[in-house]
Structure 1
């Protein structure tokens, strides 16, 4: 894969807040005037200036940005300490965020994102995600370090709601981490929710809130985390606390606390508090992504490249036009499928017997030959389609025309 398009690290902001310009706030207020408390925001078109210049499919890679930590976990012999290391890995990715309150692009149906990571020892981590449903929105993803028998599967079912002076994204779904070399020992994780505060008055602020859990039934261990939002008069931004317990007895083995954008701490029953994860001392491993020229039309960076260019140059009219074009094309594709009675199917994922999206390449994994598994997954994750849907074209007057016939996106 090409090493040219490694993304830049987002600049950290102490409180992830921003003050909107008057024109932008008036646009937001006009939009809000049409909403009621509890309104589902998934069908609402948000103004372009609130967008983070990347797709939600790519944003999920934030939680894979410290693969060395999950490698350490898989090699930890003591079961309790291994669980602690998995907790460290889960908490390590939250600090990667945009400055201010920004929302990633809503992926279109069939959009996908893929990348790889190279660790210092040469080990390769691979990631692929696909938008497998649009209404309701569902993202499926698969992440693996196949040479080490580490496999991560998951689904995200975000649902955004308007709450008055804030908007919430409820993060339903799951993430499962499996260590095949440890008898398929599996950790199941749920995510906290996301809040955008100060929409009507005050500074706009992005926060994480509510509960999250990490559970390993075979080890009889659970970590119960609470991501805390700042109160009006007390508390601090981005704090989290949690306890690692025996599930069967409720015995507390460790306590976790701190600020997830800066430093987290851990304390055992008979030990003093010590640093658990320090953002400043743990640089992320950059994603390695193919150049735009080599990407398929519905890979995230290629698909949204003109919107991203408009945001980068602060040309909001251009970005809005390009965003509208993508969304209108998706509506037309949906209408054509409905008219012709065509069922859309994902390219990289399939529904299994548990009614969950499973990566198609997972069925061919050889757990007894992980070198062979690496080659197998590379083929299924990074191969290119032999045929492509037609691109939108331009007529003589320069107006962009929507295509009325598409080849199926699914492979």
Structure 2
């Protein structure tokens, strides 16, 4: 693959051009050599690459330790999410902009945890909203969420995430509000861009425990890249944390009890992911992510930037034509696996109250929920009949 460092001059020209643009850059066309070989609709898969950690809260009888298990799952998912599953040496690359209706389906299986499944779908294009549902029926753990990403540039690429996830544990009838952190991509011109998280976030449990997470990075004179400190406390008792965490979310993190006794140290380099199962391309629906982007992905893997542009443009032009047809016929696009029938969410409102978070459903075109009935009844391939994302028979008359 062609690296960013090999194209530094072209990258400088691109950055100079977007520096003059004010507002959201989510739909800006980036140079092909900065593109990842997966779409934004695939990124939620990294929440599930350690199924035993995802299912762990269901196995814990103590409510404070369940909250600690959720915090552990959250922190250990960050590295793969931010690097898109690549090594740090490869740096950060920009995921492909998911097109409306794009779907990603995956599963993870193990004797200890049974089957964990994921459905992810691009449910809105303007604004770009991705919704996902992750679950393990054997463990009785499920999470659903959605995000709108707003991108800006001020020397670094800033990704603001608007949205959230809610994790539910059936056995304890317990909910957790899970935040989606903002990201700043630094080191772009050096040829090895890396993600930095910053700010304070909270995981809130319906059982009354809150995990407060503080992300920080390397400054001019002090600090370490990708640093994280967290404390877990009973709501209203921030001065007496039950557990604390410190370290770097891309390297090692140490978990402590209230008295300072070490519980465990997690080394992200040795925490191996469970293999992800995705159907072979010849079995996938045309609207499934890897099938739809197959030409682009192959061109990127071959380092063929000219073919990357050609394949990418073909799909994007067809999508623009589809939007024009919808507008001319007065048709409204319908998501396959999700619905946005509400602008409020009682579970979110209850969990968010202690930390003063807002829903912002106006920005995300509603509150997106998984359509269990559709999934239970089964949606057979082809998902959308003869209509395909590259514009072959876009709509039946």
Same fold (TM over 0.5): yes
Partner residue, 1:243: 231
Q: 1 CA distance for matches of 2:199 and 2:306?
A: 37
SS at match of 1:236: coil
Partner residue, 1:121: 112
Deviation of 1:199 (Å): 3.8
In structure 2, do the counterparts of structure 1 residues 148 and 122 end up closer, same or farther at CA, with 3 Å as the change threshold? Answer: closer
Superposed CA RMSD in Å reads: 2.3
- Unmatched 5+ residue regions in structure 2? 345-365
Contact 1:390–1:406, Cα closer than 8 Å, also in 2: no
Q: 2 CA distance for matches of 1:137 and 1:84?
A: 32
SS at match of 2:298: helix
The one of 35, 54, 70 equivalent to 1:86 is 70
SS at match of 1:284: coil
SS at match of 1:148: coil
Deviation of 1:267 (Å): 1.6
Partner residue, 2:214: 226
Structure 1 consecutive aligned stretches of length 4 or more whose deviation exceeds 6 Å? none
In structure 2, do the counterparts of structure 1 residues 127 and 382 end up closer, same or farther at CA, with 3 Å as the change threshold? Answer: farther
- Unmatched 5+ residue regions in structure 1? 1-17, 365-375, 393-401
SS at match of 2:133: strand
Partner residue, 2:358: none
The one of 165, 181, 184 equivalent to 1:175 is 165
Q: 2 CA distance for matches of 1:243 and 1:198?
A: 30
SS at match of 2:92: coil
Deviation of 1:90 (Å): 0.9
Contact 2:318–2:389, Cα closer than 8 Å, also in 1: no
Answer yes or no: is 1:133 the counterpart of 2:124: yes
Q: 2 CA distance for matches of 1:148 and 1:247?
A: 27
In structure 2, do the counterparts of structure 1 residues 206 and 302 end up closer, same or farther at CA, with 3 Å as the change threshold? Answer: same
Answer yes or no: is 1:63 the counterpart of 2:47: yes
Q: How does 1:376-395 map to 2 (within 5 A)?
A: 377=376, 380=378, 384-385=382-383, 387-390=385-388, 392=390
Contact 2:141–2:169, Cα closer than 8 Å, also in 1: yes
In structure 2, do the counterparts of structure 1 residues 202 and 152 end up closer, same or farther at CA, with 3 Å as the change threshold? Answer: closer
The one of 291, 296, 302 equivalent to 1:307 is 296
The one of 359, 366, 369 equivalent to 1:358 is 369
TM-score by length of 1: 0.83
Q: How does 1:2-41 map to 2 (within 5 A)?
A: 20-21=5-6, 24-34=7-17, 35-36=19-20, 38-41=22-25
SS at match of 2:236: coil
Deviation of 1:157 (Å): 1.1
In structure 2, do the counterparts of structure 1 residues 201 and 39 end up closer, same or farther at CA, with 3 Å as the change threshold? Answer: farther
Q: 2 CA distance for matches of 1:68 and 1:166?
A: 35
Answer yes or no: is 1:145 the counterpart of 2:145: no
In structure 2, do the counterparts of structure 1 residues 382 and 175 end up closer, same or farther at CA, with 3 Å as the change threshold? Answer: farther
